[in-house]
Amino acid sequence: MDAGALIARRLLLPVARWKDGRRYFNHYLREFEQSQYYSPERLRDLQSEWLRALVAHAYQHTAYYRRLFDSAAVDPASVRDPEDLRRLPTLSKQQVRLHLPDLLADNYPLQTLIQDHTGGSTGIPLRFYRDHRCHDVRLAAAIRHERWTGWEVGERLAYIWGAPRDLGPAEALRWRLSKRFAYRMITLYSSALDDASMVRFAQALQRWRPTLVVAYAGCAYLVAKFLRERGLRLPPPKGVVCSSELLQPRQRPVIEAAFGAPVFDRYGCHEFGMIASECAAHQGLHIAADRLLLEVLADGAPAAPGQPGEIVITDLWNYAMPMIRYHIGDLGVLGDRRCDCGRPLPLLEMLTGRTTDFLVTPAGKMISGSYLASVPGTRPGLEQVQFVQEVRDRVVVRVVPGEQFTQDDVVYVVRRLEGLMGPGVTFSHELVKEIPRDPGGKYQFCICKVPTDLTRDVLPP
């Protein structure tokens, strides 16, 4: 470890985290470094203990769960382990939108909470809250995974990312200084990709020489293709963490060859942070079972190991806004074996996730679908949104209107798109009753049929 990393790890990072209000981070990072090796029996006992505390809290302090338990005739005290949760219905995104005030715990002042919202990669944006302890739990789980790559706290990081809001207040001077010298990270924003931006990325990575790169999977793949086609070489990091989008099998070898480092896949979302992640054995994604419960359901019942099903999650640490049996909208398969790395954390294989295309501007820039997912924001009148681009100079916005819908919602979305895509694009909108799912059962938020040199093998035939 270089001297800068040691100074950051032992001095600058503790001070920065204290100033950022991350009082619980070090405690949970130490806990997670130990709990990743707990036996399945011990981990299950802890899950049951944490679940009992969460359910008791949710029943006592949230109006939504009081109604839910009472209407289901379930005594909260009878929920002793994860199997008991099956007597409760799942929580949908629509229910969160409709009952948000009643999901907030009455013993957590709203002004003390961290507000967030999903990018709406399924076309359905969602607002939610978490408390500061939960925020630190999420961060500690992510740092633990990054250490699986061989990276150590304090070593240099580079993010190839599309959504600035995910990585801190970009305009704040204190954050910019803290990011550079304490967190030792640079951010390469991939919301719009073209040859010039990817040349800048390559130059920045050559100068910064990061130990770890964290990137949107699709963006990492496009950058890797660009590097390969231009014959550009980078100082190899210890690993490339691919997140936010479903990593396709064909993408992994291209990214690994271009960056000169192994890829570590990660599955997460705004609602819960990191959910499951890949270790150096690359035998599946380890579920973060020491911070959440993950169920895989087939026709509403627990799927057998190896059987595909819908992923349902309970966050064991968000007391400000309990989310119990939340239906996330992704498909997966639970593994039935232990990983060779020695960590007993259970394994998950993803079947579908938030795969998004890029919209293409007349100037040839590619606007990341993951970034575009933030465009609808939290407009309550937008039940669901989909962008469709069949030719370069026209984008159709499909909208499923909600109860509070007005034409201002469409105007808002179109203006955001105009700012991102620049002149030369005509926008139209369609009000529809529903947006059909793709053959894999997912809502495809962004559909682009305009090829570029970099995306020809990404787009469907």
**Portions of the chain given CATH number 3.40.50.980:** 3-38+134-288+336-352
User: Which pLDDT value is given to residue 186?
Assistant: 93
**Portions of the chain given CATH number 3.30.300.30:** 359-448
Model pLDDT for residues 1-53, shown as the tens digit of each residue: 688 888 888 888 888 888 787 888 989 999 999 999 999 999 999 999 999 99
Residue 426, burial from CB neighbour count under 10 angstroms (0-12, 13-18, 19+): exposed
User: Which pLDDT value is given to residue 461?
Assistant: 40
Confidence tier at 253 by pLDDT (50, 70, 90): very high
Q: How much is the average pLDDT of 314-335?
A: 93
Q: How far is residue 52's CA from residue 49's CA, in Å, rounded to a whole number?
A: 5
Q: How far is residue 173's CA from residue 181's CA, in Å, rounded to a whole number?
A: 12
Q: How far is residue 255's CA from residue 104's CA, in Å, rounded to a whole number?
A: 42
Model pLDDT for residues 384-421, shown as the tens digit of each residue: 888 999 999 999 999 989 888 999 999 999 998 998 88
Q: What's the fold here for domain 3-38+134-288+336-352? A: Rossmann fold (3.40.50)
Crossing angle of helices 251-259 and 217-230, rounded to 10°? 60
Model pLDDT for residues 173-214, shown as the tens digit of each residue: 777 788 888 889 999 987 778 888 889 999 999 999 999 999
- Residue 361 CA, chain-centre distance (Å), reads 26
More confident position, 459 or 74: 74
Q: And the tokens for 252?
A: 């992994």
Q: Domain 359-448 sits in which CATH superfamily?
A: ANL, C-terminal domain (3.30.300.30)
Q: Is the pLDDT of residue 172 over 80?
A: no
Q: And the tokens for 196?
A: 């010039």
Give this prediction's pTM: 0.81
- Cβ contact 100:289 at 8 Å: no
The closest of 227, 280, 233, 284 to 254, measured between CA atoms, is: 227
Q: How far is residue 86's CA from residue 343's CA, in Å, rounded to a whole number?
A: 27
User: Which pLDDT value is given to residue 353?
Assistant: 58
Model pLDDT for residues 345-377, shown as the tens digit of each residue: 999 987 665 556 678 888 888 887 767 777 886
End-to-end CA distance of the chain: 47
DSSP SS3 for 294 = strand
More confident position, 251 or 142: 142
Distances (CA, A) of 220 to 151, 197, 401: 18, 13, 34
- Cβ contact 360:392 at 8 Å: yes
Share of the chain above pLDDT 70, in %: 90
Q: What is the mean pLDDT of the chain?
A: 88
Q: List the single range of 66-75, 116-125, 446-455 with lowest mean pLDDT.
A: 116-125
User: Which pLDDT value is given to residue 443?
Assistant: 65
Q: How far is residue 315's CA from residue 55's CA, in Å, rounded to a whole number?
A: 11
